[in-house]
Protein backbone atom coordinates (compact mmCIF):
# COMPACT_ATOMS: atom_id res chain seq x y z
CA UNK A 1 0.00 0.00 0.00
CA UNK A 2 2.87 2.35 0.74
CA UNK A 3 4.37 1.58 -2.68
CA UNK A 4 1.19 2.55 -4.52
CA UNK A 5 0.87 5.87 -2.70
CA UNK A 6 -1.00 5.31 0.58
CA UNK A 7 0.51 7.11 3.57
CA UNK A 8 0.81 5.49 7.00
CA UNK A 9 -1.89 7.87 8.21
CA UNK A 10 -4.22 6.80 5.39
CA UNK A 11 -3.70 3.16 6.31
CA UNK A 12 -4.39 3.86 10.00
CA UNK A 13 -7.51 5.80 9.06
CA UNK A 14 -8.87 2.82 7.11
CA UNK A 15 -8.12 0.51 10.01
CA UNK A 16 -10.05 2.76 12.41
CA UNK A 17 -12.98 2.97 9.99
CA UNK A 18 -13.12 -0.82 9.66
CA UNK A 19 -12.12 -0.90 6.01
CA UNK A 20 -8.87 -2.71 6.78
CA UNK A 21 -8.47 -5.43 9.41
CA UNK A 22 -4.91 -6.31 10.49
CA UNK A 23 -4.14 -10.02 10.36
CA UNK A 24 -0.34 -10.09 10.45
CA UNK A 25 2.12 -7.24 10.32
CA UNK A 26 1.60 -5.47 7.00
CA UNK A 27 -1.18 -7.87 5.94
CA UNK A 28 -4.83 -6.85 6.10
CA UNK A 29 -8.25 -8.28 5.33
CA UNK A 30 -10.34 -5.83 3.33
CA UNK A 31 -13.89 -4.94 4.35
CA UNK A 32 -14.43 -7.55 7.03
CA UNK A 33 -12.19 -9.67 9.26
CA UNK A 34 -13.75 -13.02 8.27
CA UNK A 35 -11.82 -14.84 5.55
CA UNK A 36 -12.38 -17.92 3.45
CA UNK A 37 -9.94 -20.79 3.67
CA UNK A 38 -8.27 -19.51 0.51
CA UNK A 39 -8.02 -16.07 2.11
CA UNK A 40 -6.36 -17.51 5.20
CA UNK A 41 -3.85 -19.35 3.04
CA UNK A 42 -3.06 -16.25 1.00
CA UNK A 43 -2.59 -14.21 4.19
CA UNK A 44 -0.20 -16.85 5.54
CA UNK A 45 1.96 -16.62 2.42
CA UNK A 46 1.91 -12.81 2.28
CA UNK A 47 2.92 -12.55 5.94
CA UNK A 48 6.12 -14.51 5.29
CA UNK A 49 7.51 -12.41 2.46
CA UNK A 50 7.89 -12.38 -1.29
CA UNK A 51 9.46 -15.83 -1.67
CA UNK A 52 7.04 -17.73 0.59
CA UNK A 53 4.79 -20.52 -0.70
CA UNK A 54 2.24 -22.87 0.82
CA UNK A 55 3.75 -26.32 1.30
CA UNK A 56 3.43 -29.73 2.93
CA UNK A 57 -0.03 -30.64 4.32
CA UNK A 58 -1.54 -27.25 3.49
CA UNK A 59 -0.36 -27.44 -0.12
CA UNK A 60 -1.81 -30.95 -0.33
CA UNK A 61 -5.17 -29.55 0.83
CA UNK A 62 -5.00 -26.70 -1.72
CA UNK A 63 -4.31 -29.19 -4.54
CA UNK A 64 -7.07 -31.46 -3.09
CA UNK A 65 -4.67 -34.35 -2.73
CA UNK A 66 -5.60 -34.76 0.93
CA UNK A 67 -8.65 -33.84 3.05
CA UNK A 68 -8.89 -30.25 4.26
CA UNK A 69 -6.16 -29.70 6.82
CA UNK A 70 -7.26 -27.77 9.95
CA UNK A 71 -3.97 -27.61 11.85
CA UNK A 72 -1.24 -25.02 11.48
CA UNK A 73 -0.74 -23.61 7.99
CA UNK A 74 2.50 -24.83 6.38
CA UNK A 75 4.55 -22.17 4.61
CA UNK A 76 8.02 -22.64 3.12
CA UNK A 77 10.45 -19.72 2.92
CA UNK A 78 13.88 -19.45 1.34
CA UNK A 79 15.25 -17.00 3.91
CA UNK A 80 15.01 -16.54 7.64
CA UNK A 81 12.16 -14.37 8.93
CA UNK A 82 12.38 -12.45 12.18
CA UNK A 83 8.79 -12.09 13.29
CA UNK A 84 6.67 -14.78 14.91
CA UNK A 85 3.68 -16.17 13.04
CA UNK A 86 1.03 -17.71 15.32
CA UNK A 87 -0.96 -20.39 13.55
CA UNK A 88 1.76 -21.00 10.98
CA UNK A 89 4.38 -23.73 10.65
CA UNK A 90 7.28 -22.11 8.80
CA UNK A 91 9.77 -24.34 6.94
CA UNK A 92 13.14 -22.77 6.15
CA UNK A 93 14.61 -24.30 2.99
CA UNK A 94 15.79 -23.58 -0.52
CA UNK A 95 13.20 -23.98 -3.27
CA UNK A 96 14.12 -23.80 -6.92
CA UNK A 97 11.86 -22.07 -9.44
CA UNK A 98 10.38 -25.38 -10.75
CA UNK A 99 9.28 -26.24 -7.19
CA UNK A 100 6.71 -23.42 -6.96
CA UNK A 101 3.70 -22.27 -8.93
CA UNK A 102 0.32 -20.56 -8.47
CA UNK A 103 -2.95 -22.35 -7.78
CA UNK A 104 -6.11 -20.32 -7.20
CA UNK A 105 -3.69 -17.34 -7.38
CA UNK A 106 -1.90 -18.59 -4.22
CA UNK A 107 1.87 -19.30 -4.33
CA UNK A 108 2.28 -23.01 -3.58
CA UNK A 109 4.67 -25.88 -4.12
CA UNK A 110 4.00 -27.86 -7.29
CA UNK A 111 2.10 -31.16 -7.08
CA UNK A 112 5.35 -33.12 -7.44
CA UNK A 113 7.09 -31.09 -4.75
CA UNK A 114 4.03 -31.34 -2.51
CA UNK A 115 3.91 -35.13 -2.81
CA UNK A 116 7.61 -35.34 -1.95
CA UNK A 117 7.06 -33.13 1.11
CA UNK A 118 4.15 -35.14 2.50
CA UNK A 119 5.55 -38.59 1.64
CA UNK A 120 7.46 -39.09 4.93
CA UNK A 121 4.42 -37.93 6.93
CA UNK A 122 1.84 -40.40 5.63
CA UNK A 123 1.23 -44.12 5.81
CA UNK A 124 1.75 -45.96 2.53
CA UNK A 125 -2.01 -46.30 1.99
CA UNK A 126 -2.64 -42.59 2.48
CA UNK A 127 0.30 -41.65 0.31
CA UNK A 128 -0.94 -43.96 -2.42
CA UNK A 129 -4.36 -42.32 -2.17
CA UNK A 130 -2.74 -38.87 -2.52
CA UNK A 131 -0.85 -39.93 -5.63
CA UNK A 132 -4.04 -41.38 -7.07
CA UNK A 133 -5.74 -38.02 -6.45
CA UNK A 134 -2.94 -36.23 -8.28
CA UNK A 135 -3.48 -38.62 -11.20
CA UNK A 136 -7.26 -38.23 -11.06
CA UNK A 137 -7.00 -34.44 -11.16
CA UNK A 138 -4.51 -34.51 -14.07
CA UNK A 139 -1.82 -32.89 -11.93
CA UNK A 140 0.80 -35.60 -12.46
CA UNK A 141 0.45 -39.24 -13.47
CA UNK A 142 2.48 -42.04 -11.86
CA UNK A 143 4.84 -42.35 -14.82
CA UNK A 144 5.50 -38.60 -14.87
CA UNK A 145 5.99 -38.56 -11.11
CA UNK A 146 8.50 -41.40 -11.28
CA UNK A 147 10.48 -39.57 -13.97
CA UNK A 148 10.41 -36.35 -11.94
CA UNK A 149 11.82 -38.15 -8.90
CA UNK A 150 14.95 -39.05 -10.86
CA UNK A 151 15.74 -35.34 -11.10
CA UNK A 152 15.40 -34.72 -7.34
CA UNK A 153 18.09 -35.63 -4.82
CA UNK A 154 18.61 -35.47 -1.07
CA UNK A 155 15.02 -35.01 0.02
CA UNK A 156 13.48 -37.47 2.50
CA UNK A 157 10.25 -38.03 0.58
CA UNK A 158 11.94 -39.04 -2.67
CA UNK A 159 12.92 -42.51 -1.48
CA UNK A 160 9.48 -43.11 0.03
CA UNK A 161 7.73 -42.24 -3.23
CA UNK A 162 10.16 -44.29 -5.31
CA UNK A 163 9.49 -47.37 -3.20
CA UNK A 164 5.75 -46.84 -3.49
CA UNK A 165 5.84 -46.40 -7.26
CA UNK A 166 8.37 -49.14 -7.95
CA UNK A 167 7.11 -51.85 -5.64
CA UNK A 168 3.36 -51.29 -5.46
CA UNK A 169 2.79 -49.64 -8.85
CA UNK A 170 -0.78 -48.76 -7.91
CA UNK A 171 -2.18 -52.22 -8.47
CA UNK A 172 -3.26 -54.89 -6.08
CA UNK A 173 -2.03 -58.40 -6.58
CA UNK A 174 -4.72 -60.84 -7.69
CA UNK A 175 -4.88 -62.33 -4.21
CA UNK A 176 -4.97 -58.90 -2.59
CA UNK A 177 -7.70 -57.80 -4.97
CA UNK A 178 -9.80 -60.84 -4.09
CA UNK A 179 -9.34 -60.22 -0.35
CA UNK A 180 -10.62 -56.68 -0.68
CA UNK A 181 -13.31 -57.11 -3.34
CA UNK A 182 -15.04 -60.36 -2.33
CA UNK A 183 -16.28 -59.02 1.06
CA UNK A 184 -17.78 -56.06 -0.83
CA UNK A 185 -19.57 -58.43 -3.18
CA UNK A 186 -20.86 -60.56 -0.32
CA UNK A 187 -22.07 -57.44 1.49
CA UNK A 188 -23.94 -56.41 -1.66
CA UNK A 189 -25.90 -59.66 -1.63
CA UNK A 190 -23.82 -61.56 -4.16
CA UNK A 191 -22.56 -65.06 -3.55
CA UNK A 192 -18.95 -66.15 -4.00
CA UNK A 193 -17.78 -65.42 -7.54
CA UNK A 194 -15.76 -67.59 -9.86
CA UNK A 195 -12.33 -66.01 -10.36
CA UNK A 196 -9.97 -66.18 -13.31
CA UNK A 197 -12.61 -67.77 -15.56
CA UNK A 198 -12.69 -67.60 -19.36
CA UNK A 199 -15.95 -66.02 -20.54
CA UNK A 200 -16.64 -65.30 -24.23
CA UNK A 201 -12.99 -65.83 -25.01
CA UNK A 202 -11.70 -63.47 -22.32
CA UNK A 203 -10.25 -64.20 -18.90
CA UNK A 204 -12.32 -62.22 -16.38
CA UNK A 205 -11.61 -61.25 -12.80
CA UNK A 206 -14.97 -62.16 -11.21
CA UNK A 207 -17.97 -64.01 -12.65
CA UNK A 208 -21.42 -64.93 -11.33
CA UNK A 209 -22.93 -67.38 -13.86
CA UNK A 210 -26.39 -67.37 -12.23
CA UNK A 211 -26.72 -63.60 -12.65
CA UNK A 212 -24.67 -63.51 -15.86
CA UNK A 213 -22.57 -60.78 -14.29
CA UNK A 214 -18.89 -60.10 -14.94
CA UNK A 215 -16.82 -57.67 -12.89
CA UNK A 216 -13.54 -56.49 -14.41
CA UNK A 217 -10.90 -54.38 -12.71
CA UNK A 218 -8.35 -51.92 -14.07
CA UNK A 219 -4.87 -51.40 -12.68
CA UNK A 220 -3.95 -47.72 -12.83
CA UNK A 221 -6.89 -45.58 -11.90
CA UNK A 222 -6.47 -43.14 -14.74
CA UNK A 223 -4.47 -42.63 -17.94
CA UNK A 224 -5.04 -46.03 -19.45
CA UNK A 225 -3.71 -45.98 -22.99
CA UNK A 226 -5.99 -45.72 -26.01
CA UNK A 227 -5.12 -49.30 -26.95
CA UNK A 228 -6.06 -50.56 -23.48
CA UNK A 229 -9.32 -48.65 -23.56
CA UNK A 230 -10.14 -50.09 -27.00
CA UNK A 231 -9.51 -53.65 -25.74
CA UNK A 232 -11.73 -52.97 -22.73
CA UNK A 233 -14.57 -51.85 -24.98
CA UNK A 234 -14.24 -54.95 -27.16
CA UNK A 235 -14.40 -57.18 -24.06
CA UNK A 236 -17.44 -55.36 -22.70
CA UNK A 237 -19.20 -55.46 -26.09
CA UNK A 238 -18.58 -59.21 -26.41
CA UNK A 239 -20.13 -59.81 -22.99
CA UNK A 240 -23.16 -57.61 -23.75
CA UNK A 241 -23.71 -59.38 -27.08
CA UNK A 242 -23.79 -62.70 -25.19
CA UNK A 243 -26.33 -61.39 -22.67
CA UNK A 244 -23.82 -60.88 -19.87
CA UNK A 245 -23.64 -57.65 -17.87
CA UNK A 246 -20.07 -56.31 -17.63
CA UNK A 247 -19.23 -54.06 -14.71
CA UNK A 248 -15.87 -52.35 -14.45
CA UNK A 249 -14.13 -50.85 -11.40
CA UNK A 250 -10.61 -49.58 -10.94
CA UNK A 251 -8.51 -51.31 -8.34
CA UNK A 252 -8.07 -47.95 -6.67
CA UNK A 253 -11.86 -47.68 -6.31
CA UNK A 254 -11.96 -51.09 -4.63
CA UNK A 255 -9.21 -50.07 -2.27
CA UNK A 256 -10.09 -46.47 -1.52
CA UNK A 257 -13.83 -46.15 -2.32
CA UNK A 258 -15.36 -49.42 -1.08
CA UNK A 259 -18.73 -47.88 -0.13
CA UNK A 260 -19.25 -46.57 -3.64
CA UNK A 261 -18.29 -49.92 -5.16
CA UNK A 262 -20.69 -51.78 -2.88
CA UNK A 263 -23.54 -49.35 -3.60
CA UNK A 264 -23.09 -49.86 -7.34
CA UNK A 265 -23.01 -53.64 -6.92
CA UNK A 266 -26.25 -53.57 -4.91
CA UNK A 267 -28.02 -51.49 -7.54
CA UNK A 268 -26.88 -53.70 -10.42
CA UNK A 269 -27.72 -56.93 -8.59
CA UNK A 270 -31.23 -55.65 -7.76
CA UNK A 271 -31.82 -54.80 -11.40
CA UNK A 272 -30.57 -58.18 -12.63
CA UNK A 273 -32.72 -60.10 -10.15
CA UNK A 274 -35.80 -58.04 -11.02
CA UNK A 275 -35.19 -58.79 -14.71
CA UNK A 276 -34.81 -62.50 -13.96
CA UNK A 277 -38.13 -62.58 -12.10
CA UNK A 278 -39.93 -60.90 -15.00
CA UNK A 279 -38.39 -63.19 -17.61
The answer to whether residues 198 and 159 belong to one domain is no
Distances from the Cα of 267 to the Cα of 5, 84, 271, angstroms: 64, 55, 6
Distance CA 112, CA 203 (A): 37
Cβ atoms < 10 Å from Cβ of 36: 8
Task: Categorize the per-residue pLDDT at 110 as very low, low, confident or very high, splitting at 50, 70 and 90.
Answer: very high
Please list the residues that pair with 28 across neighbouring strands: 22
Minimum mean pLDDT range among 18-32, 67-81, 217-231, 251-265: 217-231
What digits encode the pLDDT tens for the residues 212-245? Answer: 999 998 765 544 567 778 888 999 999 999 999 9
Distance CA 75, CA 48 (A): 8
Classified as helix, coil or strand, 242 is coil
Quickly list H helices, the chain: 8-16, 37-47, 56-62, 111-118, 124-136, 142-149, 156-163, 174-187, 226-241, 251-256, 258-278
Q: What phi and psi, each to the nearest 5 degrees, are found at residue 92?
A: -95, 115
The answer to whether residues 104 and 192 belong to one domain is no
The answer to whether residues 228 and 155 belong to one domain is no
Containing domain of residue 115, as a range? 111-170
The answer to whether residues 133 and 216 belong to one domain is no
The answer as to whether 4 is a domain residue is: no
User: Given 58, 77, 109, which residue is the final one in a domain?
Assistant: 109
Residue 255: the pLDDT is 80
The answer to whether residues 102 and 187 belong to one domain is no
The answer to whether residue 271 scores a pLDDT higher than 50 is yes
Long-range pairs for 7-13 at CB < 8 Å and ≥24 separation?
none
The answer as to whether 2 is a domain residue is: no
Contact 157, 115 (CB under 8 A): yes
Mean pLDDT of 167-190: 74
Distance CA 35, CA 150 (A): 40
User: Given 170, 200, 221, which residue is the final one in a domain?
Assistant: 170
Mean pLDDT of 100-107: 95
The pTM score is 0.59
Amino acid sequence: MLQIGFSSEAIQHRIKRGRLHPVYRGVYAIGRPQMSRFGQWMVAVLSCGDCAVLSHATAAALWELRPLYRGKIDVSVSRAINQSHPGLRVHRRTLSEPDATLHHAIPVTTPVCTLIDIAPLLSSDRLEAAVNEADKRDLVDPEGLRIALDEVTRRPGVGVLRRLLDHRTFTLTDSGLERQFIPLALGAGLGMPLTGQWVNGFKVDFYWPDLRLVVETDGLRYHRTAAQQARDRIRDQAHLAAGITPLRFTRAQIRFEPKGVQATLKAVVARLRDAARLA
